[in-house]
Structure 1
Amino acid sequence: MSKEANSLRLKYLQGYSEQLLNQVRKLIDEQGLGHYIKQRYDNTHTIQSDKALYSYVNKIKQENLRSAPQIDKVLFDNRLDLTHRALGLHTAVSRIQGGKLKAKKEIRIASLFKDAAPEFLEMIVVHELAHLKEQDHNKAFYKLCTYMLPDYHQKEFDLRVYLTAKELGQI
């Protein structure tokens, strides 16, 4: 396989060490990537409605970010997908109410996470909640993510492996 085709197969894993990428390539070649994910994350969560997702997000927010702004809307979004490289979005929709400008905070999670492992949903929620305090993906942002979810980086890596396996048809 050409180097270009190989890098396309690992588009979700760019930036990781060559040693780690070689391990993933070996699993891909042996058709073992799906097995790796299923071995580590063998169940799915029960959060299927936007109402349940809102409650779940607010619970994590209350446990970790009490002083962060109120979240007005949380939902699974069918329009977010891997082609846009967006697994979740945080937005502030500004509206004028009674002569005042009000910003409504929204979190949208890609619908593909309705059928994912609970650890992946938690990682995406933590990521989007961290954006309430830190807009950029900087050191403070990732420090906040690991405060809320100590093994955040491992879960993020495994989520990227999951997306790669899904795209390659190994899950």
Structure 2
Amino acid sequence: MRKYDSIKACDRTISYEIIYSKKRKRAAILVRPDLRIEFRAPQGLNVDIIRKMVERKAQWIVKKLEFFEANRLPDPSKQYSEGESYLYLGKEYPLKIVFKNSIKKPLALLKDSELRVEIPGNTSEDQIPFLVKEAIWSFYSERAREEIEKLLKIYSKKLGVVTPVFKVKHQKRRWGSCSADNVLRINFQLIMAPPDQLEYVVVHELCHVKEKNHSLRFWKLVRELMPDYQVHRDNLKKDGWKYVL
């Protein structure tokens, strides 16, 4: 059985859902990352008593709300919860969350056709999505770094240039860039794309080491290194909206 109530405290209205359970022996308050507040109550606990308990915990609740408001997950469609599907090199993997008492930091890996995230066994429920996000971003960043480094070594040799310094970045509006001093920046979320699309972006930015604009000479270089680049460029334009964590 569920009920809804609210109180005014700490200069704001705190609205919460009361969830009764026959199995529960002690009351508990849970503040979720999506800013929902749940009061989990033993069966029959009086609403007035619950309200007083919420009032006593108001400062704690508001601190939690402020934390989650300041640290919103980057994509509302991703809740970093078990069963969600995540792209990796163009293939989809369901997210599996595993609690392990033997670890202190979250860890992500591909295992048994799943994106598996291991988190410490004592993690509180409201912190799970943040640790899962941390593990996935770290895993994707490191895998992107490895793939980009391999591609740059191959194509730098073909282009006849020294392998440039590169950085793996989270960028909202671009897949890659090349600075005036030839430092490449590649969006790590490209590790979600099929390999050819990541390869195209690496080739594109590498060619800017020789040609800083998008002149005919620039596109000639790109075509020499990757004759079918246009296909992968078009696919990236069409499907790029999917590559968001």
Q: TM-score, normalised by structure 2?
A: 0.39
CA change 1:43–1:114 in 2 (3 A) is same
Measure how far apart 1:55 and its partner are.
3.1
Aligned residue in 2 for 1:73 = 165
CA shift, 1:61, in A, is 1.2
1:73-113 per-residue CA deviation (whole Å, 9 max, x = no partner) reads 223201x123xxx21011244xxxxxxxxxxx311111211
* Residues 60, 162 of structure 1: alpha-carbon distance in 2 compared, 3 angstrom cutoff: same
1:147 aligns with 2:224: yes
State the 1:158 CA deviation: 1.0
Identify which of 178, 181, 206 aligns with 1:90: 178
> 2: distance between equivalents of 1:143 and 1:43?
31
Aligned position for 1:156: 233
Moved more, 46-55 or 154-163: 46-55
Distance 1:161-1:49 versus aligned 2 partners, 3 A rule = closer
Q: Identity of paired residues, percent?
A: 24
- Give me the whole-angstrom Cα distance separating, in 1, the residues matched to 2:197 and 2:144: 17
CA distance in 2, matches of 1:54, 1:122: 11
The aligned amino acid for 1:76 is V
Q: What CA deviation, in whole Å up to 9, does each residue of 1:55-84 have, x standing for no partner?
A: 32122211x211x3x244223201x123xx
The answer as to whether partners of 1:54 and 1:73 remain within 8 angstroms in 2 is no
Q: Counterpart in 1 of 2:187?
A: 110
Distance 2:175 2:144 in 1: 17
- In structure 2, distance between residues paired with 1:153 and 1:52: 21
What secondary structure is seen at the aligned counterpart in 1 of 2:179?
A: strand
Any conservation in 2 of the 1:123–1:156 contact (CA below 8 Å)?
yes
Residue 59 of structure 1 aligns with an amino acid whose one-letter code is: I
* Conservation of the 8 A alpha-carbon contact between 1:43 and 1:118: no
User: Aligned ranges for residues 1-171 of structure 1 at < 5 Å?
Assistant: 42-43=90-91, 48-62=143-157, 64-66=158-160, 68=161, 70-78=162-170, 80-82=171-173, 86-93=174-181, 105-164=182-241, 166=242
**1:3-31 deviation line (CA, Å, top 9, x unaligned):** xxxxxxxxxxxxxxxxxxxxxxxxxxxxx
CA distance in 2: counterparts of 1:140 and 1:72, whole angstroms: 20
Residue segments in structure 2 that go unaligned for 5+ positions in a row: 1-86, 93-139
In structure 1, runs of 5+ residues without a counterpart are 1-37, 94-104
Structure 2 counterpart of 1:65, one-letter code: L
- Report the residue type matching 1:61 in the other structure: S
> Normalized per residue, which structure has more helix?
1
Structure whose CA Rg is larger: 2
TM-score by length of 1: 0.55
Structure holding more strand per residue: 2
